[in-house]
Chain A
């Protein structure tokens, strides 16, 4: 405690935070930038969610109800791009900005101005992308995968799409460099790699993935741009190019991207389950190695997304078996989370509830992923709603639930106030019930043969589509509770102490709530680090 007082005193001397709009536009403070990332991600979540609800509105009944097919395809394309690059990735970067310096004992990120630049690229990128709805030909409609030759038929929005993807990529790469450099250079003395919290570990590995694969996506879309405007034929068969090569390059980025979206979720769940089980994490080192193994394997499985394109038998076998291999480290993680809870003194506050839902529902997504990994089965499932159900189970009750768990876990630390736990529990139950009503029937639709990315369907699929749409509206509207709970907490939450949760460990809980403007201006002592690293 004496250390805290000394820390607070030191902090007071330096707490010259700017005010007004300058605080945000010129922000170099990791917490301010983290807040901006989170607000941006939340905004994009509601815009992308709005697109999803329009999609489900159209699919409520067979036949064309509200939109023409071109606009429907624009909605599916933009929903994916906004949710992946606008909601989930910036959401994780926001949490990284807030938590990594506090968790490694650093005063801020290593490159604060770069941090500011990384964030402010994003509003321009998404303004550009979303405004493409209003240009002749409408928004991009060829799918988020941007496969040529279809994407080359996009109208005036094509260069907007390409430029926006370049900007998003640049933002992600710069953010990732900042994370790696911070973790490698700014850790407090005594904060060894194997003392780092799992959230920091998962983000370190995610950042390496980002640095390796975002430039690959940028290269692929640059080649699309030159094919469209400068007469090259990288992917145009008529000129000797190879459209299938685009798919290989895209998925060389795309599969690690899946893990970019989910690895930080593993980190957050690994923080929350021990806290609310009041036990150390079972198998900390195994968890670190499992995350590293998953990241490595993510580079050698890309072609499982394109089995039906046609490839040699040996390649099919390789990509099938390497994909199945991912189940091993993933199984280690699920086992360790379960073992952490075993005979723990469990309590079920909103962060734990969301983490438990993650554990069950992400595992369902993992199982359907294993089904899709099998080549003969994949020939049946390819491009059906089964695939849609699979990746939405991974990304919604997977990534999004973990992000909400993280916000509910650290919100008392960020604000110094406790939110309305009862409303948080309501938010959890409504989300969990409706997310299953929304996505589980899509397994049945896919197995019955309903194709994805269509605005109309055969009448035999009507019942489950109606159920799924009702789930979508329920899930969508129940998310309005999330910003309400946060705003209510900021305005009228009950003040809490440094350690908001009884079982919480980690350096962030050694700081006051809310933490000082600059986190650890004096590095924490070895004893404080050891107390925090009680995993």
Chain B
């Protein structure tokens, strides 16, 4: 299971072992955080580029 504070870890949960699941959870969470940040800074950058023209 993932970086879990409350629920009991169960390696039996799913076909993946706990460590692999934790890695996947972290990787996909980071990926989506990067996408969100890209939208945030991307729109501001787009406005800056537009203003510079």
Contact = CB atoms under 8 A, between A and B. Distances in A.
Do A and B actually bind? yes
Interface string A173-204: 10011101100111111000000000000000
B12 A181 contact: no
A493 interface: no
B7 A29 contact: yes
A467 interface: no
Bin chain B's interface residue count: 20 to 34
Q: Is the interface of B mostly helix, strand, loop or mixed?
A: helix
A363 interface: no
A249 B43 contact: yes
Nearest to B12: A522
Interface string A223-235: 1000000000110
Contacts of B41: 219
Nearest to A29: B6
A101 to B, nearest CB: 9
Given A216-B39, A234-B47, A181 B7 contact: no
A518 B8 contact: yes
B7 A518 contact: yes
> Which 9 A/B pairs are nearest by Cβ-Cβ distance?
A215-B40, A28-B6, A215-B39, A14-B8, A28-B5, A219-B43, A108-B7, A107-B7, A518-B7
Given A29-B6, A113-B3, A113-B5, 19 more contacts: A28-B4, A107-B4, A107-B13, A112-B3, A176-B32, A181-B2, A184-B28, A185-B24, A185-B25, A186-B25, A188-B13, A211-B39, A212-B39, A215-B38, A219-B43, A222-B40, A233-B51, A518-B8, A522-B10
Interface of B: 1-8, 10, 12-15, 21, 24-25, 28-29, 32-33, 35-44, 47, 50-51
23 contacts: A14-B8, A28-B5, A29-B6, A107-B4, A110-B2, A112-B5, A114-B29, A177-B32, A177-B33, A181-B32, A187-B14, A212-B39, A213-B39, A216-B43, A223-B44, A233-B51, A234-B51, A249-B47, A518-B6, A518-B8, A521-B7, A521-B10, A522-B12
